Amino acid sequence: MLIFSLVLVTAGITVLALTLGGGTEQPIAQRIDSDRQEFNKLFSTYDTLSKEYYKDVDENKLINGAINGMIDSLEDPYSDYMNEEEAKSFHENISSSFEGIGAEIQEQEGRIVIVSPIKGSPAEKAGLQPNDIILSVNGKSLQGMSSTEAVLLIRGKKGSEVELEIQRGENTEPLMVKLTRDTIPLETVYAEMLKDGIAKIQITSFSENTAQELRSAINDMAGKGMKGIIIDVRGNPGGLLDQAEEIASMFVPKGEVIFQVEDRSGEKAVFKSKNDRELDVPVVVLVDKGSASASEILAAAVKESAGIQLVGENTFGKGTVQSAKDFDDKSNFKFTTAKWLTPDGNWIHKTGIKPDVQVVLPQYANLAFISPDKELKLSDSSAEVKTAEQMLEALGFAPGQVDGFFDQQTKKAVQAFQTSKKLEATGVVKGKTTLMLMEGLRNKILSNDTQLKKAQELLNKEITK
């Protein structure tokens, strides 16, 4: 007989404890403490389904479903119940490497949306972008799924393939994208020395060791004659709050506000910089629509409390803080506990942070991807053909009129591209031709990074003052 008891924790967390035992017990609905009558309907439903449903029910599944439904009723994409397998995946995301495609996702109005692909990941290499909608995984629809449920379908062993159905924009045709899963590494900070003594340091997420990685990178760049720093948090989906606070303290003068946290009663806690040494070189921070959560905390802190300029595009707009609570069975749930506010008291939720200097990437940086399995050939007409024409044009191979119709001029452009890459000049876009076309475009975007160039320009002015 199942004995079901309700345990209330001081933090306001409701924990459902299960014990199995023998004997005759009263129905749960008859064993509720008189001061908890609001649970009568829940327990009565459980008793009824357990005894009268037309076939045996999985008792744990009923409990998990009840908890999940309670959290779903909040209509908050950042609050979610996770079973044991989902909870394990959640913890891996923060504290260790994992195997998958390397993209941060979230649920928005019943759809699974990419927040940002991770640098160097299969998702980034395939051209996935912030706000792309994942419609299905290996043919299974994600409609109505939570982000944690979707993650379990998307992740898998290194070397295995997964096919995603992607929609970019409301009125575009979905595209099928096949990716090969890989190991997504722990490393979150990448530094390189550009010309004129300017160091570019990219932070791809805020994990357990990110602050220490950043300190090491700054010290390394300083040893190479660093005169200015570009901190790049474009495409950074966020992560741990304490890491954002520690990193912001490296750039914000001691005692200045980094961010504020406002609870449900309107009480505010103010977090200030503990910086014991200020960097003596100018800094610029790069942001875009994939900069979310902890990235936005850093961006707002340096902008409002350190006078550091932000360059790029409007950020994602996540202004809430989550906590996670573990159950004894290793399942857990995360839920929103507060708002976070910028140093000046602004709530950027759903609006994002506007950069000081707005710079967009070239139009071809927003092109959709083409599945290498799809064949595009003479006389074809489709959205994919138009994308291929746009890619060819961006790479300097004249496809004629860019109209989505694969004509003779398009074929000649494809053959010229294939010849330049030492491929068989078939004039057909498929397989290696598609992959090399997209790789060429990616390299073109990297070499013509208008946002990075503007940041370099601003720093050079500061350095030469």
Q: Which residues pair with residue 228 across a beta bridge?
A: 198
- All structural domains of the chain with their residue ranges: 2-57, 98-184, 189-361, 367-447
Beta bridge partners of residue 448, listed in sequence order: none
Q: Could you report the per-residue pLDDT of 202-219, keeping only the tens digit for each?
A: 998 898 899 999 999 999
- Reported pTM: 0.77
Inter-axis angle of helices 432-447 and 383-394, nearest 10: 50
Q: Based on DSSP, count helices (H) and strands (E) in the chain, helices before strands.
A: 12, 21
Q: Is residue 267 within 8 Å of residue 320, measured between CB atoms?
A: no
Residues of the chain predicted below pLDDT 70: 1-35, 89-98, 171, 186, 277-278
* Catalytic residue annotation: 293, 304, 318
Give pLDDT tens digits for 406-424.
Answer: 999 999 999 999 999 999 9
CA–CA distance, 235 with 279 (Å, rounded to integer): 25
Q: Write the CB contacts of 203 (distance below 8 Å, at least 6 apart in sequence).
A: 188, 189, 210, 214, 231, 232, 233, 236, 247, 295
pLDDT tens, 236-256? 988 888 999 999 999 999 999
Q: Which CATH entry fits the domain spanning 98-184: 3.10.300.10, 3.40.50.2300, 1.10.579.10, 2.30.42.10?
A: 2.30.42.10
Give the three-class secondary structure for 424: coil
> Could you read off the pLDDT of 296-312 as tens digits, one per residue?
999 999 999 999 999 99
In this prediction, residue 21 carries a pLDDT of: 32
Q: What CATH number belongs to 189-361?
A: 3.90.226.10
Closest by Cα among 335, 340, 268 to 301: 340
Q: What is the DSSP string of 273-317?
A: ---SS---S-EEEEE-TT--THHHHHHHHHHHHS-PEEEES----
> For residue 6, with 0-12 CB atoms within 10 Å meaning exposed, 13-18 middle and 19 or more buried, which class applies?
middle
Task: Count CB-CB contacts under 10 A for residue 404.
Answer: 17
CA atoms within 13 A on the CB side of 427: 12
CA distances (Å), 125 to each of 52, 164, 383, 452, in order? 53, 14, 21, 19
pLDDT tens-digit series, residues 7-60? 222 222 332 222 223 334 445 444 545 567 888 889 899 999 999 999 999 998
Domain 367-447, CATH:
1.10.101.10
Both tokens of 260, joined, read 């504020």
402 CB burial (10 A radius; 0-12, 13-18, 19+):
middle
The C-alpha atoms of residue 210 and residue 218 are separated, in whole angstroms, by 12
State the alpha helices, DSSP H only, in 96-235: 122-125, 147-154, 210-222
